[in-house]
Chain A
Amino acid sequence: SQTIHQWPATLVQPVGSPLSLECTVEGTSNPNLYWYRQAAGRGLQLLFYSVGIGQISSEVPQNLSASRPQDRQFILSSKKLLLSDSGFYLCARLPGLSGANVLTFGAGSRLTVL
Chain B
Amino acid sequence: AQTVTQSQPEMSVQEAETVTLSCTYDTSESDYYLFWYKQPPSRQMILVIRQEAYKQQNATENRFSVNFQKAAKSFSLKISDSQLGDAAMYFCAYRRLYNNDMRFGAGTRLTVKP
Q: A and B from one assembly?
A: no
Chain B residues near A (Cβ < 8 Å):
none
